[in-house]
Structure 1
Amino acid sequence: MGRRLVPLTLDNLSDLPSRCRACVFWELDPVSGERARRHGRAVSEKESWVSSLLSEWGTCGQVVYVDGRPVGFVLYAPPAYVPRSDAFPTSPVSADAVQLITAWIAPASRGQGLGRTMMQSMAKDLLGRGVRAIEAFGDARSRDPMCLLPADHLLAVGFEVTRRHPAFPRLRLELRRAVSWRTDMELALDRLLGGTTPIPALRRS
């Protein structure tokens, strides 16, 4: 089985699941996001967002391939590039952290260590750029959290609550902990990366 991990660029953005390519939940504020969806501009807005990050900040995601087929991805960015985060009651993301936006592995590819590899690649990329930590808004309410990662699954892989909330806690992971994830963490990572479902979810994301 050939596996390959590639930084997200405009050239492979089309390898994300189709609804993910039209997902602007995080990339635009709520009003602009709804307007983009209504006028059919979500895909172009997503492309513009990725393009801006690549030119102004650098890599904002990783895509994992098995035998040439894309089976998962992770997206992350500085909070200044994630307008929707301002709408959460537990914002803002800490000044020394990058926001984990979302991550996903296809069901058939879970249990193969791909999630750990992908997340550790993200951690190494960010550590190399001087980033100390990554934070995420978790969903503490739903078993199908759509655009948000489940809070309990984030906790299971080593995130800690940095600001409590009954629905949307903000959680933090020191990146050096992610780099040292062992194989015994793979089941927890599979649950985390299976906690968001890009197909129905991305109507809201």
Structure 2
Amino acid sequence: MAARITQLRLQGFEQLPKHARRCVFWEVDPSTLPGDDHLADPEFEKEAWLSMVMLEWGSCGQVAIPCGPEKDADPDTEAPCLGYAFYAPPRAVPRAGLFPTGPVSADAVLLTTIGVESGDDTETLPRGLVAAVVADLVRRGVRALEAFGRTAEAAQLTDPRHVTPELRAVVRALGDCSAEQCIVDADFLTDVGFVVVADHPYFPRLRLELEQGLGWKAGVEAALERLLETAQLREPVGAGASPCS
């Protein structure tokens, strides 16, 4: 499905996929909760976190939404979200302080989550979302983007009771969250230009320079432009349809 990527607005919260609305893996420190790690209303917690970050820091999400004749046929319908990316200053991300490869560098913003709905473009959309995050941060003068990656071996860490103490707080799940689902794949991060700055067998920390990585920035921004152009080419302009912008 053709898509365009835009900044997440708080009024678009309800259009996020169910897991994105309920996932508070990064936003809540599990050590502050009762022993059962139960949250009465994770959607409220996630929306409150987004509201706080947007108010104090600015945009912290990019979303991919449909772009095509189906959407234009009824412009009043609320477009579903095909993919999303969240990012924020590390001070606003409680779980970031629990990783053994932390802390995040003082000059960096933390990329926490990238998600694409099953059945949608799982190759182009994630790269386009990263490109949109980079473009936003470059405009805002941010020097670097960092992320905690998940290696293939991390899939073995399913029970916090059976891991070393330094990893226990990382893999503790909240609701339907999990380290495997909520941490970006490390191989994907290296594929799009991040480099490892703190190695680890399970959760390395990676970094993308936004000042010096001019070639990479040009490449990903070009990829984003191609994504948008593809969306426009798939949509017939005329007969009452409007170009996707």
Matching of residue 38 in structure 1 with residue 38 in structure 2: yes
What's the CA shift for 1:156?
1.8
What's the CA shift for 1:99?
0.4
Question: What is the CA–CA distance in structure 2 between the aligned matches of 1:35 and 1:11, rounded to whole Å?
Answer: 33
The equivalent of 2:60 in structure 1 is: 60
Residue range with higher mean Cα deviation, 151-160 or 69-78: 151-160
The equivalent of 2:127 in structure 1 is: 116
What's the CA shift for 1:145?
2.2
Task: Specify the code of the residue in structure 2 equivalent to 1:127.
Answer: V
The alpha-carbon distance between structure 1 residues 166 and 145, as it changes in their structure 2 partners (threshold 3 A), is: same
Question: What is the CA–CA distance in structure 2 between the aligned matches of 1:16 and 1:37, rounded to whole Å?
Answer: 23
Q: Deviations over 1:124-149 (max 9, x none)?
A: 11111110211111112246821111
What's the CA shift for 1:70?
1.5
Q: Deviations over 1:120-177 (max 9, x none)?
A: 1211111111102111111122468211112122112211100111111100112342
Task: Specify the code of the residue in structure 2 equivalent to 1:65.
Answer: I
- Asked which structure has the greater CA Rg, the reply is 2
The alpha-carbon distance between structure 1 residues 170 and 71, as it changes in their structure 2 partners (threshold 3 A), is: same
The alpha-carbon distance between structure 1 residues 114 and 18, as it changes in their structure 2 partners (threshold 3 A), is: same
CA RMSD of aligned residues (A): 2.4
Percent of aligned pairs with the same residue? 42
**Contact 1:9 / 1:50 at 8 angstroms: preserved in 2?**
no
The equivalent of 2:219 in structure 1 is: 180
The equivalent of 1:132 in structure 2 is: 143
The equivalent of 1:194 in structure 2 is: none
**Contact 1:33 / 1:42 at 8 angstroms: preserved in 2?**
no
The alpha-carbon distance between structure 1 residues 69 and 96, as it changes in their structure 2 partners (threshold 3 A), is: same
TM-score scaled by length of structure 2: 0.68
The alpha-carbon distance between structure 1 residues 122 and 157, as it changes in their structure 2 partners (threshold 3 A), is: same
Greater share of strand: 1
Matching of residue 164 in structure 1 with residue 184 in structure 2: no
Q: Deviations over 1:2-33 (max 9, x none)?
A: 53322112211122211221111101112236
